[in-house]
Structure 1
Amino acid sequence: MEIISGTWKGQLDMGLAPRELECVLAVAQGMTAKEIARLMEIAPGTVANRIENAMYKLGVHRRAALVAEAMRRQIISPMCFALACLMAMNAMTNVQTGDPARRERRPPSVRIAQVRITRRSETLEPVA
């Protein structure tokens, strides 16, 4: 049996209770505890408890790790898996070809130097 929520589907009988699985699917969609609570018509604290229980069962400590571990164990999967694969392949191709549409990040040293110069100029006050 499976549960479908948005663009994700989850498999029951894989170690998570049905309501925990619903919460994990909602987390995979990027929803907050309050949004999940409104959707499921329960208290946000209950949602937090169900997410914590799922994290404990899967042996993780963060929400992103929860989704990754659930995907690794094939408890949840995106419904548009082929689209996700195409997007990943496109991203890899853009890195290899140097696509100009892809935003390149500056090295951190350049940004740190600019912040230091700005802070020095802010601290200097003209003598009147």
Structure 2
Amino acid sequence: MLDKHQDAVEADLIRAGLRLRNVGTAEFDWRDLLVLIRQSARESALMAAAHPDAARWGQSEFLLAELVDLTALLLWAKTKDGAKNRNRPRPYPRPGVEDPGARRVTGHAVPLTEIRDRLRTLRTHAAERG
């Protein structure tokens, strides 16, 4: 954790009135540092660095997103689309929750030279037929 997020750990330690350079002393041993890291609050610099979505989204944010979704559904229900059950509003994006209606594009990149070769072949076949 220190290798990846040392600045964030140090920022949290400073807020607690401690310093990383004091780890290993009688007043602040390695176990103390481990506990501080493992029990980092959602609002801590370490959580923001290591898990940015989790740090930004707490219970209040999830409840607000739920209210946004319910409001959108209520408004939609009063429309012609709502009466015909079409064009339902999408839920507000949340971390860790995938939108089932979102389109996913998969595949791999094709080199431009290969695309040109394929187009040349298609043109050749079209010219031979027509």
TM-score range, shorter chain: under 0.3
> Who wins on radius of gyration, i.e. which is larger?
2
Higher relative contact order (CA 8 A, sep 6+): 1
Higher strand share: 1
